Structure 1
């Protein structure tokens, strides 16, 4: 069976993501959080909170894991759940004052930690990388949209 041409790109993407996760995750754990906990704190920072659905869409955390991570952050007093008066079926997750203070301390520290690695690339290299990653993202979303359109049933009248 011939090797698919895109596998080289896929392998490079996976290796890059794994390297970033190892690099970033070690610092996040040194800050006293797991990577998913940091993801939620960072996502909620400078917001009025988000529903579970919004958090799931904006983080790298799977839906099945999200509730448990929020539970643990809530136990630590860093987030709270607030029912929405407009839709009592929805719950918003927001940072507590303690969670906001933690965000103010660790988010800039993590950006400072990550910056030197990204600065090893020239501005032109970063621009090229940004463009390539954006093109790959569009290829996935365009293909997904086309597949959904092809499989959605035709409207009936």
Structure 2
């Protein structure tokens, strides 16, 4: 039997106690970490998306193409896990990429109940052109970090993910 996590109990208190609790909560160090993490992510997405749009793709489309590149294809479930996109959203993204002629759905002979999303030859060409270009674009910023700084950030982010 595992111990259940203790969840904070919300108790009814008077308004002045609630205000004091709200002020104290606003000063918690974890809040600063969360705000900085959110601001960093927003800054990255803004930078990232600018280049991807110039390449003629949306962020989710690029994510799918980059994830499928150098693979024989993936089921929607695996693709959703690897791209961190919900299956419902992924269906629309795949539909649009299919209309652009960059991916196709294939039914594998060993399991006719599902299908695999694969890059078309044009999708492969786009991947081979766009992916290295975009990595070089991102590398311009990441090269501003010393190798030790990059390792420390990586370790900190991994640790943060572990606690959740």
Tell me how far apart the structure 2 counterparts of residues 136 and 88 of structure 1 sit (CA, whole Å): 40
1:136 correspondence with 2:130: no
What is the match of residue 145 of structure 1? none
Tell me how far apart the structure 2 counterparts of residues 67 and 112 of structure 1 sit (CA, whole Å): 29
What is the match of residue 126 of structure 2? 102
Tell me how far apart the structure 2 counterparts of residues 106 and 119 of structure 1 sit (CA, whole Å): 20
1:63 correspondence with 2:96: no
Corresponding residue pairs, total: 140
What is the match of residue 37 of structure 1? 61
Structure 1 unaligned residues grouped into runs of 5+? 141-157
Secondary structure of the residue that 1:93 maps to in structure 2?
Answer: strand
Residue among 70, 76, 90 paired with 1:52: 76
Q: Over residues 63-92 of structure 1, what are the superposed CA-to-partner deviations in whole Å (9 max), with x where a residue is unaligned?
A: 221000000000011000001222222110
Instruction: Report the alpha carbon displacement of residue 138 of structure 1 after superposing the two structures with TM.
Output: 1.4
Q: Rg larger in 1 or in 2?
A: 2
What is the match of residue 99 of structure 2? 75
Structure 2 unaligned residues grouped into runs of 5+? 1-21
Tell me how far apart the structure 2 counterparts of residues 6 and 88 of structure 1 sit (CA, whole Å): 48
The worse-fitting range, judged by mean Cα deviation, of 29-38 and 2-11 is 2-11
Residue among 68, 84, 109 paired with 2:108: 84
Secondary structure of the residue that 1:6 maps to in structure 2?
Answer: helix
Asked if 2 retains the 8 angstrom alpha-carbon contact of 1:43 and 1:58, the reply is yes
Tell me how far apart the structure 1 counterparts of residues 41 and 51 of structure 2 sit (CA, whole Å): 16
- RMSD of aligned alpha carbons: 1.0
In the superposition, the TM-score normalised over structure 1's length comes to 0.86
Tell me how far apart the structure 1 counterparts of residues 158 and 68 of structure 2 sit (CA, whole Å): 24
